[in-house]
Structure 1
Amino acid sequence: MENPDVQVSAWMNDVREAAYNIEDCIDLFMHHVDHEPPGSVAGIKGLVRKSMRKLKKLTYRHKLANQIRQLKALVNGTYERHLKYKIDDCNPGVMHTEIDPRLPALYVEAEKLVAVEGPSEELISRFIDQEMIRFSCSAFVSVSRKPIMVNILKDLLAEIENNDRKSDKYLATRSCSERHLIERLRAHLENRRYLVVVDDIWSKSAWEQIQCALPKNFHGSRIITTTRINKVAEFCCTSNEGFVYPMKPLSNNDSKILFLKRTFVVAAECPSQLEGIMDDILHKCDGLPLAIVNIASLLASKPVSREEWERVRDSVCSAHGKEKDKELEVIDKILSLSYCDLTQPLKTCLLYLSMFPEDYIIGKYSLVWRWIAEGFVVPKHGYTLEEVGESYFNELINRNMIQQEFKFYGEAISGRVHDIVLDFIVTRSNEENFVSLLDAQNIPSQCDKIRRLYIHKKNEHAAEVSQQNKNMSHLRSLHVFGRITWMPPLLDLQILRVLYLEDCNGLKEDHLKNIGSLIHLRYLGLRNTNVKNLPIQIRKLEYLQTLDLRGSGITELPESIVHLKRLRHLVGQRLRLPDGFGNMEALQELWEINGSKSSINFGKDLQNLIQLRVLGIHFEHTYCDDGQISTALYPWRSPPRLLQKFVLQGYRDDNLPLFPKWISPLLSELTYLDFGVDQMNGRDLHMLEDEGRRTW
């Protein structure tokens, strides 16, 4: 529901917390009942232990029954309030329609436009050729997210026919159907040179209906469409003449010019004592015209003093949790439109991005693995969870909620969130108790239950939080960036699903000594930490899906790791795998393993990994010769047919003596190979003939 009032928001929070509590109840019950201690003891001692476990299970089942009764009463109470206060009848969108905050931009004088030099006549010629200036008719219509197509067609017809909205001719269209309006528009435009601007298109279906009214002719007519969604823009360009122009952020110089023109209308110069504050504000806006214009307009209405400018700067740089000025609220309203248009899984995945610092480069694969661990990715028939999660990431880029940073052979592999968008996400996340932030400026909200905790850099409030006795037993995700001064005891985190520690210089192996108690853990990340050994208790993490050790000091994995039957992604640097790692049959990504120092049955273990899609192997020259590498990989005669990427590095300047015989057309999913080879024959070249599908 968009823009709910206080009453509806309270009811939505009750429903959300009830859903969380039900899931927590089930997870905690599983923790106590289904978690059997490893190993067995024979004889009388074993019989006594087994009997004690049965008694404990009866106790936990009794507690579960009581909790279910309490939760049922809670849900019934929420439902009764829903009926009593007629929540379904509360629709603020029908009672009050807000003015589009972008409307004033349509009436800006040409001389106030920024980033295009020269007078207004030259400005026009940059966008429309001089021969195209004279049109017999023109129109501008805005579609919006939930368009009423009949009204849009009426407005389009009124502008094309140059009718007054109060004229009899316009009023006569009230009873017209969509088909009748389309036919009238086509008849009027068929033999004319027209210019039509269709603004703010949100869906392909909306454009499909509108374009029916705009006939293609040979009179030099032009149609300009605007949208926030890349796929919609591409869909609008169905002909060879179509062109998508992606809007880019303003340069530093243009950002400054726009800011000064809006703030100081006459002088357009910034006092020297305010230049540093201006630079801070522009850095936060990062070339986004909407943010620059609104913040500059706010400052233009304030006294030109250092105190006022610092207050606005601090408000922009820490917008969440504070009352905002009207100019800043405009930005939130526009972002809210994009947010409300997302599907529920995409909304949840977007809110999860509030767990990352500003300007952080977010890797796609690591992020998708965490979404999967949290249960945000909805299964789709015929696709893996990873493929569905990657489509979520690409869709958020497509909708400009994530800015693409790096590509790998045309595929987006990382992105970041604009600071203004991040502030919006953090605010939403805080309102829904989705993520609690603990950094140098903020401490978690006063909510009793913390669901996800993000700890950033040196934390001055760590001791304060621990003294508040915050309830951490409901924590599902814990992200820690930077030096660790405090983190919740792992024994208290019985339903934790994601534990991500990055650049934690103060992290010690003692911090992980009770990791075996996290039986619901699905993602464990130790990026760029100085941890050198994984605890043997790692075998107890039976639901673990991802183990990310990149940048850590861990190179040798314990033998107990082979018991992780659900592990899908194991990534690190030159990892030494124990004998029997082939038992981890769910592995889809294995990167990067040390082929020189891994198990004796290296090739046989690889043969068992039939789900493998990505494999990176490093052979050290010091420990290998031609015979040893052939012996190691020989049992891998038939690699998994799902294999998509294979990289072999570090052996004799990255070269193999002969082309691998296992590469064949049967590997239909293989798209990327990276290794060197000294000698190839005609058969080998034949295997590489499909260059359009593979990258070598």
Structure 2
Amino acid sequence: MVDALVSFVIERLGEYVIREVEFFRGVKGEVESMKNELEWMHCFINDAQKKQVNDDTIRRWVLDIMDIAYDCEDVLDEFIFKVHNEGIPDTLSVDQATTSERRQRFLTFLEKICCIICSKTRQQIDLYGIGKQIERLKGRLNDVSRRRQSYNLQDINNNIEGESSARGRLNSLRRISSFQLEEMNVVGYDDDTRTLLAHLLDKKKPQSFVISIFGSGGSGKTTLAGKLYHHAEIKNNFSHRAWVSVSQHYDTKDLLQRIIYSFNKDRDLPKMSKVDMTNEESMGRYLKKSLEGRSYLVVIDDIWHKEAWDSLKRAFPAENNGSRVIMTTRIRDVAERVDDSTFPYALRFLRPDESWQLFCTKAFKNSHVDQGLEQLGREMVQKCGGLPLAIIVLGGLLASKTRKEWSEIRKHIWNDMVNQNIEITYLLALSFDDLPSELKVCFLYLGLFPEDHEIKIRKLIRLWVAEGLVLQKGENTMEELAENYLDRLINRSLVQIGLTSRGRIFTCRVHDLLRDLAIRKAKELNFFCTKHETQNLVESTTSRRQAFYPGRNTPLLLQHCSLLSRSLFFFGQSSFLDLPKVCIGFRVVRVLYLDNCYFENSNNLPEEIEKLIHLKYLGLRNTSILHLPSSIGKLQSLQTLDLSTTREHGGRIQIPSEIRMLTELRHLIGCFDTKLKIDNLTKLQTLKNVHGWVWTQIKTEKLVNLRELRIYWNYPTKNGEVTLDSIANLKSLRILSITLFDGSSYFGSLEPLSHCEHLQDLNLEGIILNLPENLHELVPNLECLSLDGSNLKDDPMPKLEKLLNLTHLQLGFDSYRGRKMTCSANGFPRLEILNLCPGPLLNKWDVEQGAMHVLRDLKIVVHPEKGLSKWVRSINTLKLSARVHLERDTICRL
């Protein structure tokens, strides 16, 4: 893995040096020369990538180069900081006592570059001096080349196939496969599901009790719990459901917060205005009182200690109303002794037929099984011992391999058998080693997140871009490249799909065993450091990425972190975090992740934030920050500003006018109902969520790169009409969402949408709408459409079925008020998912033969007062393989 990281650092360094130095101008030729030398170094690293790094000599060689690259990056960051904050220095100060001779020579070279960069304050540029330093660097690289021959690296390319042939051209992947979308084709567990469902729904046992599912890591405990949690009978029998993951390192206060938020996703519980979400007792009382007299189901996933349940148990009322708790654990003792009323359930391994079926879904993507590969595949699957995770990873590894490569992998597996059973850690490492360099680094990055953490896809992509893990190539944006990286990791089964929304992946997660692999590899490279409360506080680290998990020792842990850290992740920290001190101390940081943190003494982002001139990602989601200082305008490198808040955290963040100075800003996320000066932010790609009247004040002509826009209205417009005229300027728009709360307005026309030729996802909620006859011509590329609350009078199906690319359609609450719907033959040719919440007048739905022929999921939320009408029973005319959900919902919303 050393090779992959060195390759990444060198490539990124070349891009960084060019970008920053050209900003100062005057030394273009010299910098181009340096870039050429760095590219030669990169070639040497690529040679090292083709050689096994088990050789300690080679490992030392690439580590030395990595240190040089890191030192160069450090000095450049420090210099630019001084230019911005301390004026232009005459020379750079270097600590002779603590700097190695190798590093000193490199710093001397960079010193000369810095002197030239500062030449605007001097009378002339000493180009000859710079040339001498570049020659010195070339000499060092010649030394590296000679050492390369000593290590016998020159003939490597003749023996090992390079990565380029396997990569190919980047596909424009916008959708995910049917198998991935909602983990629909869960293999096995049918008998387990029936057994546990019977216990969960047993009316003869109304008292609350716990079902604990236990088994080894990767055996499918969470998958089975998820299958139960989302089962239609469970949804219909438990009015309140919540899911929380515990893991080894847990904090009771954090668990209670997440349980409450899980219950409140659909506004299930009473208002939380008087709940102190930082106080464990207050949250426990609120939760217990809210659940009294209600039937609930709670899934507590991945519990390691009985004490974790003991700390939560008092927050759940013990009543005779059939409420249940499902737990998953790897530890038999915890499963059997967690509670007096526990029903422990040992999860078996998959049978041979189930193992083969699961393998085929990954290795052959549910297509025809290659008979020539079947025997090889069955032999390897047998060695997985029925362990689902091992089978899934093996299938993902083999999915893109040739027959020869299948044979090679089988031979390796045979050589690494332990007691006639596969060593799972070896198989995971094999899949990791098979990744191309760019995917290796992105996979390592996932280890930063806490165990069992649901990682939001868009957030992860923005972090990868901010970290420089994705470099611009071709016409694709860095976000598109990052999305492709993630899709490839998912296809290899190294990343699991979490939640989905509107036909797209919303969250992902990493299995514990794979996360352990990422952490172990990252530790070898000093790529990042994770800190728990129980760790040795005096243990210093020079890692450039630090992750702090919930605990009380964060301030002390910070004292032992490198001040050259590029990324600081604070997961759910409390008011003990001294944010001004962080801004002053960690001045070269690029990512500051503060989501779900509380700052008791102030609701203001400190003025010291201006010190972080290299900052690219600032995450303040669900924090107590309500005010941004004007100094935010000095963050000239900022790409992502995430200010999303919830009602429990107070009002909306006030944005200063200096935001117009953030010309590199790509993603602005929050809740904006005051004037927003972003007219000149030409690189902006995401804007969420802006009030309608604020949006009307923005000149949209320069927002040429805007791809996602979410607008909301809290009240009707003065003339009762919402127009889309300003949308016509957004030529790059892919996702548009307009929501109206507490009022009624209507669209004048959908014609402006015709200018957004790339529009794929449209959500119109709470707005009276008339669908035009030429809708399919206005938005020909539309893939997702939601029309909740549109109060359509005419049958929408004849117009909607002409949208040839539509795959996901939602006609939710108050979307259609008519009596009949008709879907004609061959209509909706690509529709996969259809969600309906029909109005009370609907009594007939005709579906002609051939309509919606690829539909795989039909969800109908039945009106609570109307019940099942005869039109619902008529859906058997749909000769489809689709799943059909019939659900009741107290508020009849999808």
TM-score range relative to shorter protein: 0.5 to 0.7
Query: Would you say the 8 A contact 2:655–2:676 is kept in 1?
Result: no
2:466 to 369, 373, 377: 373
Tell me the CA shift for residue 409 of structure 1.
3.8
Task: Give the alignment partner of residue 153 of structure 2, picking from 88, 98, 116.
Answer: 88
In the aligned structure 2, how far is the partner of 1:444 from the partner of 1:74?
43
Matched, 1:483 2:573: yes
Give TM-score scaled by structure 2 length. Answer: 0.47
- Most deviating of 408-417 and 430-439: 408-417
Aligned to 2:675: 578
* 1:361-400 CA distance string (max 9 Å, x none): 1111110001001111132312111111111111111011
1:566 aligns to 2:678 (yes or no) = no
The residue identity in structure 1 corresponding to 2:685 is: Q
Letter in structure 2 aligned against 1:670? L
Q: Please name the residue that 1:627 is paired with.
A: 719
Query: What is the match of residue 65 of structure 1?
Result: 111
**Maintained 8 Å contact 1:593/1:618:** yes
| Superposed displacement of residue 465, structure 1 | 5.1
Alpha-carbon separation, structure 1, partners of 2:539 and 2:741: 56
How far residue 285 of structure 1 moved from its aligned partner, in angstroms, is 11
User: Shift of residue 550 of structure 1?
Assistant: 1.6
Name the aligned partner's letter for residue 693 of structure 1. N
**2: CA distance, partners of 1:78 / 1:4:** 23
Corresponding letter in the other structure for 2:144? Y
| Code of the aligned partner of 1:421 | L
Q: Aligned partners of 1:77 and 1:249: how far apart in 2?
A: 61
Of 557, 562, 569 in structure 1, the residue corresponding to residue 655 of structure 2 is 557
Contact 1:345 1:378 in 2 (8 A): no
Q: 1:258 to 1:66 in 2, by over 3 A?
A: closer
- 2:544/2:562 contact within 8 Å kept: no
- How much does 1:538 deviate? 0.8
Moved more, 426-435 or 642-651: 642-651
Is 2:450 the counterpart of 1:353?
Answer: no
2:516 counterpart of 1:423: yes
The correspondence for 2:553, drawn from 448, 457, 460, is 460
Conservation of the 8 A alpha-carbon contact between 2:679 and 2:698: yes
User: Who is 1:670 aligned against?
Assistant: 759
> Aligned residue for 1:643?
733
Matches within 5 A, 1:92-241: none
Match of 1:692 among 801, 804, 817: 804
Deviation at 1:332, TM superposition (A): 2.5
Distance 2:504 2:594 in 1: 27
Q: Which of 47, 56, 61 is the matching residue for 2:89?
A: 56
The 5 A counterparts of 1:416-455 are 416-442=509-535, 449-455=542-548
Contact 1:285 1:291 in 2 (8 A): no
Report if aligned partners of 1:490, 1:515 keep a CA contact under 8 Å in 2. yes
Pick closer, same or farther for the CA change 1:490–1:74 going to 2, 3 Å. Answer: farther
Judging changes above 3 Å, is the alpha-carbon distance between structure 1 residues 248 and 664 closer, same or farther for their aligned structure 2 residues? same
Query: Kindly tell me: are residues 532 and 401 of structure 1, through their superposed partners in 2, closer, same or farther at Cα, counting changes over 3 Å?
Result: same
Please list the CA deviations of residues 262-293 of structure 1 after superposition, one character each: whole Å capped at 9, or x if unmatched.
xxxxxxxxxx9x83257799999998999999
The sequence identity of aligned pairs, in percent, is 24
Q: State which of 14, 17, 37 in structure 1 corresponds to 2:67.
A: 17
CA contact (8 A) 2:497 2:509 kept: yes
Unaligned 5+ segments in structure 1 are 38-51, 95-144, 148-201, 206-229, 235-243, 262-271, 295-324
Query: Secondary structure, in 3 states, of the residue corresponding to 2:755?
Result: coil
CA shift in 2, pair 1:509/1:204, >3 Å: closer
CA distance in 2, matches of 1:666, 1:82: 59
8 Å contact kept, 2:724–2:752: no
Evaluate the alpha carbon distance shift between residue 460 and residue 280 of structure 1 in structure 2; reply closer, same or farther with a 3 A threshold.
farther
2:722 matches 1:611: no
TM-score, normalised relative to structure 1:
0.60
CA RMSD of aligned residues (A): 4.7
Q: Provide Cα deviations, 1:74-115, integer angstroms capped at 9, x if missing partner.
A: 966983894496263999xx9xxxxxxxxxxxxxxxxxxxxx
Distance in 2, Cα, partners of 1:461 & 1:481: 11
Residue 513 (1) aligns with residue 610 (2) = no
Partner of 2:488: 395
Partner Cα separation in structure 2 for residue 258 and residue 522 of structure 1: 40
The equivalent position to 1:32 in structure 2, one of 64, 68, 82, is 82
Q: Which runs of 4+ in 1 moved over 4 A?
A: 57-63, 66-78, 80-85, 202-205, 244-259, 277-294, 325-329, 443-448, 507-511, 681-686
SS of residue in 2 equivalent to 1:515: helix
Cα distance in 2, alignment partners of residues 284 and 372 from structure 1? 43
Answer whether contact 1:516 1:540 (CA < 8 A) is retained.
yes
User: Structure 1 CA distance, aligned partners of 2:139 and 2:531?
Assistant: 30
Say which SS state the counterpart of residue 499 (structure 2) adopts: strand
AA at the equivalent of 2:474:
H
The residue aligned with 2:625 is 531
Q: Provide Cα deviations, 1:326-381, integer angstroms capped at 9, x if missing partner.
A: 99993332111111111111111111111100111111111000100111113231
8 Å CA contact retained: 2:592, 2:618 = yes
- Structure 1 residue 64 displacement after superposition: 3.8
Q: Say if 1:527 and 1:461 are closer, same or farther in 2 by CA, change over 3 A.
A: closer
Aligned to 2:882: none
Encode CA deviations 1:429-449: one digit per residue, 9 max, x unaligned: 111100111112335896762
Tell me the amino acid that sits aligned with residue 111 of structure 2: A
- How has the CA–CA distance of structure 1 residues 582 and 401 changed in structure 2, closer, same or farther, with 3 Å as cutoff? same
Cα shift at 1:412: 2.0
Measure the CA separation in 1 of the matches of 2:485 and 2:337: 33
Report whether the alignment pairs 1:7 with 2:57.
Answer: yes
Q: SS where residue 669 of structure 1 aligns? A: coil
Which residue number in structure 1 is paired with residue 641 of structure 2?
547
**Alignment counterpart, residue 587 of structure 1, candidates 668, 679, 684:** 684
* 2:548–2:569 CA contact under 8 A, matched in 1: yes
Q: Greater CA radius of gyration, 1 or 2?
A: 1
Q: Secondary structure at the match of 1:502?
A: coil
Offset of 1:56 from its aligned partner?
2.9
Match for 1:476: what amino acid? R
- Matched position secondary structure for 1:555: coil
1:283-340 CA-to-partner distances (Å, cap 9, x unmatched) read 999989999999xxxxxxxxxxxxxxxxxxxxxxxxxxxxxx9999933321111111
Closer, same or farther: CA 438–277 of 1 in aligned 2, 3 Å: same
Helix, strand or coil: the match of 1:583? coil
- Are the equivalent residues in 2 in contact too, given 1:477–1:498 (CA < 8 A)? yes
Moved more, 3-12 or 516-525: 3-12
Query: What residue is the counterpart of 1:213 in the other structure?
Result: none
Matching residue of 1:413:
506
Secondary structure of the corresponding residue to residue 644 of structure 2? coil
Taking the aligned partners of 1:346 and 1:464, their CA distance within structure 2 comes to 30
Distance 2:138 2:349 in 1: 52
| Residues 548, 554 of structure 2: 8 Å contact kept | no
Describe the shift of the 1:403–1:80 C-alpha distance in structure 2 as closer, same or farther (beyond 3 A): same
Compared with structure 1, are the counterparts of its residues 415 and 511 closer, same or farther at alpha carbon in structure 2 (3 Å cutoff)? same
Shift of 1:453: 0.3
Residues of 1 paired with 2:152 and 2:456: CA distance? 41
How many Å separate the matches in 1 of 2:155 and 2:422? 23
Provide the rounded CA distance (Å) in 1 between the counterparts of 2:516 and 2:508. Answer: 17
Match for 1:489: what amino acid? V
Aligned CA distance change for structure 1 residues 664 and 345 (closer, same or farther; 3 Å) = same
Q: How many aligned residue pairs are there?
A: 486
How far did 1:258 drift? 8.3
- The alpha-carbon distance between structure 1 residues 379 and 386, as it changes in their structure 2 partners (threshold 3 A), is same
Per-residue CA deviations over 1:582-626 (Å, capped at 9, x if unaligned) read 122211110111224x37xx34423432211111111111xx434
- 1:495–1:146 Cα change, 3 Å: same
SS at match of 1:627: coil
